[in-house]
Homo-oligomer: A and B are copies of this chain.
Amino acid sequence: MTSAAGWIEKTLDYRFRDNERLSQALTHRSAGGRHNERLEFLGDAVLGMIIAETLFLRVPDAEEGYLTRLRANLVRRETLAEIGAEIGLGDWLRLGAGELKSGGFRRASILANGVEAVLGAIYLDSGLGAVRSVIERLYADRLQSLPADTELKDSKTRLQEILQSRGLDLPEYATESVSGEAHKRHFEVACRVAALGFRTTAGGRSRRQAEQRAAKAMIERIQNG
């Protein structure tokens, strides 16, 4: 394909009225000039709304908590970066010299923001109906196979529910140690379920992360008897 407009038409089945909008959506801040951050802000809100509406209509028996977790799962950065990679967005983004070389996390974040910016540009260009069609196309597979609620809950919440269902007290978490300098701390946390006499430990880059991992280990411990 020779143009960004042609690529969008082929992958998203959408034709921009004003190609300047597409051009801006594909321009990362590092490239200078009119960049895509404001469009990203708009696209983030539009995507959140359309996914909420779609879930509301498609899963009529879901309670609000499940809807909220489903939405968070569908609009989180990792999912957006995956979508960006699937449509080959990286080939069409205009980046500054420094960003071109960056990989890993930075790259995923730029892809995710780029997807939102393109959606924001389509909304500005043609309104809600057009962007809804594009989002339904981008999310078709993911909306076909929505994860069950248990898959979406974090480990601490799941552990709490497992214990409550057995009439047991809540687990206790204790920080065992904190090491490393301010910008790369390491936390070691223990999770204890007194009634079962079980104790697990785990480490992480934040107390929260370590607690989640210790809770996950505890769930496995309980499920293995």
Contact = CB atoms under 8 A, between A and B. Distances in A.
A141 interface: no
A200 to B, nearest CB: 20
Contacts of A123: 53
Interface of A: 37-38, 40-42, 44-46, 48-49, 51-53, 56, 62-64, 67-68, 71, 123, 128
Contact of A45 (B40, B49, B63, B128): B49
A45 B42 contact: no
Contacts of A63: 37-38
A6 B158 CA distance: 45
The 9 closest A-B pairs by CB, nearest first: A45-B52, A49-B49, A37-B64, A45-B49, A41-B64, A42-B56, A41-B67, A45-B48, A38-B64
A197 B132 CA distance: 56
Contacts of A44: 52
Contacts of A53: 42, 45-46, 123
A167 to B, nearest CB: 21
Contacts of A51: 45
Contacts of A37: 63-64
Contacts of A48: 45, 48-49
A216 B147 CA distance: 43
A45 B74 CA distance: 14
A44 B37 CA distance: 23
A156 to B, nearest CB: 14
A50 to B, nearest CB: 8
28 contacts: A37-B63, A37-B64, A38-B56, A38-B62, A38-B63, A38-B64, A38-B67, A40-B64, A41-B52, A41-B56, A41-B64, A41-B67, A41-B68, A42-B53, A42-B56, A44-B52, A45-B49, A45-B51, A45-B52, A45-B53, A45-B71, A46-B49, A46-B52, A48-B48, A48-B49, A49-B49, A53-B123, A128-B128
